[in-house]
Structure 1
Amino acid sequence: MKGFVDEMRAVAMKLHTKDQAREGEKESVDPPIAAWNPSVDGYLKFLVDSKVVFDTLESIVTTALHPSYGGFKNTGLERSEQLSKDLEWFKEEGYSIPEPSKPGIVYSSYLQQLAENDPPAFICHFYNIYFAHSAGGRIIGSKVAEKVLNKKELEFYKWEGSLSQLLQSVRIKLNHVSSGWSREEKNHCLEETEKSFVYSEDIIRLILS
């Protein structure tokens, strides 16, 4: 039986560009990853701002601002601790760690707002952030590492145990939570997908800054 996560995935896939996914419908504005010319400084900005977003998501579910968030604690997909270790490694390598910048700060504050007032929209972002990182995010990570980090694999891209099992377990939880929503709430959640892409893309573009 198909659950609501299948609907979320279908909407998200259409928002990919044609070169990112088979189901993609968007024309690409940015160059493909293979043609990127990243710098370590840009990559650090991306990691710092990503950490701001993951810190926010993880504190929201830990404090369970809304009862439906409680089931998303300790899913194994959390990234905050891994990013701390990565930033520590960069520091030991002699790089200076930048302060969080506008894309991460703005997205974090938007997520906090949604978490308090709009659970279906918040869940949309939760799903898209974690699932995108486990797919396209990993591809970006390995391409950038190849170009600027001598192929070093960061903790950000490592998970304990089987990633596909962790994702499946979160899919089940997402389907369970959304099963209590009206069709209107489900549609509202799906409509939020585009915003989650816009915010995430602003953070990804930091890699090239």
Structure 2
Amino acid sequence: MVVVLATTAVDNKSKKRYPGESKGFIEEMRFVAMKLHTRDQSKEGEKEPEGQPVGKWEPSVEGYLKFLGDSKLVYDTLEKIVDKATFPEYAEFKNTGLERSESLAKDLEWFKQQGHSIPEASSPGISYAQYLEDLSEKDPQAFICHFYNTYFAHTAGGRMIGKQVSKTILNGKELEFYKWDGDVSQLLQNVREKLNGVAEGWSREEKDHCLEETEKSFKFSGEILRLILS
């Protein structure tokens, strides 16, 4: 009887369905990420809002340049890691069309031409870039969590923030950071399929490990985002 009960418990655990699992692993990633949004950011969010909503931000050009500079370091690092492909699955994400490093370089050059001084990368960007470097060498599941959250968040909330900042301090100018070649929805769909394909080769434990890294990706990206208000 004990053996039967134990076997049943294992079977039930193996049959447990994770939120979004039936639609592929990327839906599991999206579900976990959305839960970490605040209630004013998403109806799926569970966290209490901290500080003012984006619509009431009072950014400065200096703070925004810090954000762009640190963001560029992070995207430089992500794209270098993918290009190097220490783990074979990283190579799946080369030339997806979501890359942002080149666009950020153009934007920073535009600001320079307007007479602004471009700051060196600061602690939030340096810390995140170093963390990504270290993670990518030993933990592909956790690294891919950061890859997903960085690129996908930028096409959603990132664009909304960019539009608000542009309206506030750039007279509505749209930066290259917020433009993509081609249909961004299709680019995202292509990457979703690649992410689902890569995750098919992972165990349930590896998938869970990837999902558990989501909170760290939000912490790092949040520190960079707050530079806008510095």
TM range (shorter): over 0.9
1:17 equivalent in structure 2: 38
Which of 22, 26, 37 is the matching residue for 2:58? 37
The reply to whether residue 49 of structure 1 matches residue 76 of structure 2 is no
Q: Which runs of 4+ in 1 moved over 2 A?
A: none
Q: 1:110 aligns with which of 123, 131, 134?
A: 131
2:159 aligned residue: 138
Question: Aligned partners of 2:201, 2:127: CA distance in 1, in Å?
Answer: 30
2:92 equivalent to 1:67: no
Amino acid across the alignment from 1:83: L
Question: Which residue is 1:91 aligned to?
Answer: 112
Query: Structure 2: which 5+ runs fail to align?
Result: 1-21
| Equivalent residue for 1:151, pick from 172, 177, 180 | 172
- RMSD over aligned CA atoms reads 0.5
From 167, 179, 186, the counterpart of 2:188: 167
Find the counterpart in structure 2 of residue 203 from structure 1: 224
Q: Deviations over 1:7-39 (max 9, x none)?
A: 000000000000001100000112100111100
User: Which residue of structure 2 lines up, in the alignment, with residue 185 of structure 1?
Assistant: 206
Give the number of the structure with larger relative contact order, counting CA–CA contacts within 8 Å between residues 6 or more apart.
1
Q: Secondary structure at the match of 2:23?
A: coil
Partners of 1:148 and 1:98 lie apart in 2 by 18
TM-score between both structures, scaled by the size of structure 1: 0.99
Q: Tell me by how many angstroms 1:97 deviates.
A: 0.1
**Same amino acid, percent of matched pairs:** 68
1:47 positional shift: 0.1
Question: Unaligned stretches of 5+ in structure 1?
Answer: none
| Higher CA-based Rg | 2
Query: What's the TM-score, normalizing by structure 2?
Result: 0.90
Shift of 1:96: 0.3
Separation in structure 1 between the aligned mates of residue 34 and residue 194 of structure 2, nearest angstrom: 21
In structure 1, distance between residues paired with 2:51 and 2:140: 32
Q: Partners of 1:15 and 1:201 in 2: how far apart?
A: 11
